[in-house]
Amino acid sequence: MNGQILRRSDLNDVTMAPMYRLFCSQFANVSMEQFVLDLDEKNWVLLLHNNAGELTGFSSMMVYEASFDNQNITLVYSGDTVVDRSTSGDSALSYYWMGAIDWLRRRYKKDRFYWFLLVSGYRTYRFLPVYSRLFYPRFDEPTPNDIQALMHSMACERFNSQYDANTGIVRLNAPSVLKGEYSGIPEHRLSDPHIAYFAERNPGHERGDELVCFCELSEAKLTRLGQRMWRKGQKLFPDDV
């Protein structure tokens, strides 16, 4: 597997066509126009290709500065992220994504990023406890007041009336809904307390409802597995990439 980081402005129609096809293989009722509009909100894209040069995954992200409680913080807001099912047993997205984040952190000259993401699928939510020691909301610890206030502020700013502050849920006007086998949560997965918590917090996930989540992106706040992925990813994206 090979990965590359591109600016959104470097994407063209030829690049975006396979991205859109891959996205539509897992999500229903998303027009090319809607897909491009989402991309236009982002400033970086991670692309994954197999050895034959075929696109097998991508993740878009927006790195931006925000002011909160008289402090300037740097946020990574995640957009569309899809991996081809043929690579489901490969952790390439994890270490390439971690490597991309570390490269962007160095490029922006920041000690840490804060990850602001919306989650409509249990697989994405499960990514948080597997790799991070500091993420919210979570079943085993209440969200600290300052982090809750930050999440609320960022969600209100970005989604306005589409955000329900009482539930922490964003209901987009044009949600991306997972198809068939990608939708829902298998019964046996609900034995995992993290997944059961996600299902409870976001009961409308099958119709595209999104749970607002927050995570600190720094090596020190990762799990041991997350730190291994981070260090592996660092080697893939040197400073002159």
The tally of domains found in the chain comes to: 1
Dist CA 95 CA 92 (whole Å): 6
89: confidence class by pLDDT, cuts 50, 70, 90: low
231, 101 contact by CB (below 8 A): no
94: in domain: yes
Tokens found for residue 160:
């306005």
**What string of H, E and C letters represents the secondary structure of the chain?**
CEEEEEEHHHCCHHHHHHHHHHHHCCEECCCHHHHHHHHHCCCEEEEEECCCCCEEEEEEEEEEEEEECCEEEEEEEEEEEEECHHHCCCCHHHHHHHHHHHHHHHHCCCCCEEEEEEECCHHHHHHHHHHECCEECECCECCCHHHHHHHHHHHHHHHHHHEECCCCEECCCCCCEECHHHCCCCHHHHHCHHHHHHHHHCCCHHHCCEEEEEEEECHHHECHHHHHHHHHHHCCCCCCC
Look at residue 114 and tell me if it is in a domain: yes
Structural domain including 72 reads 2-234
Q: Between helices 122-131 and 193-201, what is the axis angle to 10°?
A: 130
Average pLDDT over the chain, rounded to an integer: 92
Task: Report whether 98 contacts 61 (CB < 8 A).
Answer: no
149-192, pLDDT tens digit by residue? 999 999 999 999 999 999 999 999 988 898 888 889 999 999 99
* Residue 140 domain-assigned (yes or no): yes
Distance in angstroms (rounded) separating the CA atoms of residues 127 and 159: 24
Give a yes or no: residue 122 inside a domain: yes
Rounded Cα distance between 232 and 130, Å, is 16
Does 240 map to a domain?
Answer: no
Q: Return the minimum-mean-pLDDT range out of 50-54, 61-65, 132-136.
A: 50-54
86 pLDDT more than 80: no
Q: How far from 56 is each of 3, 72, 85, 102, 112, CA to CA, in Å?
A: 10, 36, 8, 22, 28
Contact predicate 195/122, CB 8 Å: yes
CATH of the domain at 80: 3.40.630.30
Flag whether 102 is in a domain.
Answer: yes
Euclidean distance between CA atoms 143 and 48, whole angstroms: 34
- Entry pTM: 0.91
Residues counted in the chain: 241
- Identity of the amino acid at 15: T
- The answer as to whether 184 is a domain residue is yes
What's the rounded Cα separation, in Å, for the pair 48 and 61? Answer: 14
Flag whether 33 is in a domain: yes
pLDDT tens track for 186-237: 999 999 999 999 999 999 999 999 999 999 999 999 999 999 999 999 899 8
